[in-house]
Structure 1
């Protein structure tokens, strides 16, 4: 079945204590889409009644907008998984939505035809800062990269992508890694790239809004080495109890090998036969990976400009803990 103006899909929106002005702008931008055959499922991660009342009032009773309420709070990663678990079987495509951006009217119409060729397509956004509406960047400059480079450094922002509904048959439930690095859009992108293909296009399809309450913000350009060290130190203090060398190394491993190993192992287990050539790139990050294969993948991505230098150095910094962990698993 071709993906066209008649295709029915689901917009999956994860909400948590939204800024009501930004939430209103986002909902109205979804309602104004030129492709109208969709339902918007809103998973309220707490505060269900308040979100329901707001959506009903602001959407003027538009029956396409449905709020799912739950008593238990799962956080950002779990909330997206939960709303995706409620996507009906008759949907042909799924688009992810944050609660605080602003889509351009032709976003779905622009991206949907690409699903005739790939499982997932992602675009670009203009980055703006609120309050003030200052333009931070005219484009997010995401890149279409190889699977190995995509595993190493994510290029797909969830709010900028749309994918075939059958991708969820592979991607759900989400894998778990006990650190902050587990990210829903990275997992979905890797699943798509390894099986039905993923594409990143240059079209700018929305405003990506930066504000004080962002869970994950847009990095303004490539991180400097000093900024990378500052971020790793802050995360070490928060998640590993301090900024000492061992805590820094553990955090570096979380940021590099840990989550990538989890994705590679789980995807290999689930799909069995990935697309031709994908198996080699998966094993470069899987448990028991060959260091030659891993470094070849990382260096190749760095040389092609698909992996930032700061990302490459995070893998270098994460290597000591990775080596120790492999020795302990063997013993």
Structure 2
């Protein structure tokens, strides 16, 4: 049998929680000379979770060519969602990927092992049941995630937190494995102020899971939680205004404000981060598709952590603020404060930069890509085109699949943890695990109810990506596979 290559996308070990089912999104790619991947399942004990197969993985080409597999097989990707019940004994089992090839043979590969149950350093611990009543001045716990912070920007952010008019807060800094020089910048900036509590991870988790770890440190006496980036600047009244917004809206679980956009020197680039706020924030259907809640501009009730933690087990391209906003929507609702209470600093190191919303121009580009999808898919079969247009193809084809994995995991987690109304059930049904997700995206896009331009823009972009990927996969399958060569290096190998 010719050698197989398999790549499982990286991520931290899925961690068991005693009070919630574990929702684990898994993905990767697999190929073997002379065969196509026919099916892929994740097996945990007796439970099996089928994966979508045939996903286009442009990132697989380099590894395949390095291992002598030419021409590269691009439709070799798979992704799926596993759901494991709370309190089960599955955490002691070794997950296994089962691969079925087009020649009828099967292979088994070990997947990422589970983290052990129960508390451990940095593990997820639910403290919501022990939360104490807030005092007259409620405590705000600020969860800040850092990694290799820019010294002047970090110092400015720390100063803006110290200048808050709300008098009772603590700042929980979770550093994601910065080097010693940057860790020294962090400790020097907060030296002598006991309200700042910093901790450094031994391994890099990515900002999604780093924020998750920071949130596990929120003390029981905290009434509210704010999220802080390492390089923004808060208005002095930010916390006090948002606390007041939630005090006036006892039904709402989260409040967020507008922001200005500034450069690293504080020069104003835009009066608003959300020109027109063109998407609804009071509907899970709209918010799950297109998030408008920016983490550094929000404040939420600490009791929301009971629903939000642990985060769905995802890779590095999920967003913590998107997940928390979805939880807040189903738990009670979201309030919006139109005043700008923070300055979003636009610079080259941002995880997600600000861009002006181009409106009709964006819509016209998406429509053009959809109309040209057969030509794009055909051109994508050529290695020269893939090399020259690597970034556009990644945005058109690879990124939509990654976003669908995240939204599917969010939807499945909410379905299992929360009581959903009709809007919520409709939202999660769009991203339910299973086939025909492209048709469900199209149905959501064509529904006549108002959910904002951002919703329709994201839905159109995801649908266009699915169409192009499907056409690329069909064209790839029309091309005959090269005959398998006799292996002299062994049966199997990890590609990464």
Q: TM-score range by the shorter chain?
A: 0.7 to 0.9
CA contact (8 A) 1:12 1:40 kept: yes
Cα deviation, residue 157, structure 1: 0.6
Report the counterpart of residue 63 of structure 1 in structure 2.
194
309-318 or 43-52: which moved more? 43-52
Structure 2 partner of 1:200? 336
Match of 1:156, SS?
A: coil
The offset of 1:6, in angstroms, is: 0.5
Paired position in structure 2 for 1:313: 460
1:128 aligned residue: 262
The reply on whether 1:94 has 2:231 as its aligned counterpart is no
Q: Aligned partners of 2:271, 2:350: CA distance in 1, in Å?
A: 19
Q: Does the Cα contact within 8 Å between 1:149 and 1:297 map onto a contact in 2?
A: no
Q: In the alignment, which of 278, 287, 292 is matched to residue 424 of structure 2? A: 278
Task: Name whichever structure is richer in strand by fraction.
Answer: 2
Aligned residue for 1:38?
169
Structure 2: distance between partners of 1:208 and 1:245: 27
SS at match of 2:426: helix
Contact 1:301 / 1:307 at 8 angstroms: preserved in 2?
no
Q: Say how many residue pairs are matched.
A: 315
Structure 1: tracts of 5 or more residues without a match = 326-331
Normalised by the length of structure 2, the TM-score is 0.56
1:257 is aligned, of 386, 392, 404, to 404
Deviations along 1:126-182, whole A, 9 cap, x unmatched? 001224x332210112454321111111101110111111211111121134462x1
Give the distance between the partners of 2:453 and 2:271, measured in 1 at CA.
20
Q: Is the CA contact (8 Å cut-off) linking 2:206 and 2:316 kept in structure 1?
A: no
> Residue 122 of structure 1 contacts residue 199 of structure 1 at CA under 8 Å; is this kept in 2?
yes
Q: Distance in 1 between matches of 2:391 and 2:192?
A: 55
Flag structure 2 segments of 5+ consecutive residues without an equivalent: 1-131, 370-375, 474-496
Say which SS state the counterpart of residue 307 (structure 1) adopts: helix
Give 1:313 deviation, angstroms: 2.2
Alignment check: 8 A CA contact 1:121 1:163 kept: yes
Residue in structure 2 matched with residue 329 of structure 1 by the alignment: none
Stretch moving more, 208-217 or 301-310: 301-310
8 Å CA contact retained: 1:284, 1:290: no
Within the candidate set 234, 239, 253, 1:119 is matched to 253
Higher relative helix content = 1
Provide the residue aligned with 1:328 in structure 2: none
* Structure 1 residue 318, shift from structure 2 partner: 3.4
CA distance in 2, matches of 1:179, 1:51: 22
**Contact kept in structure 1, 2:134 and 2:221, CA below 8 Å:** no
TM-score when scaled to structure 1?
Answer: 0.82
Deviation string 1:240-288 (CA, Å, 9 cap, x unpaired) is 99849996664253255332111101111222x2246422222222224
Structure 1 pair 201–286 and aligned structure 2 pair: CA distance change class (3 A): farther
Distance 1:285 1:135, change over 3 A: same
Is the radius of gyration larger for structure 1 or structure 2? Answer: 2
What is the aligned-residue RMSD (CA, Å)?
A: 3.5
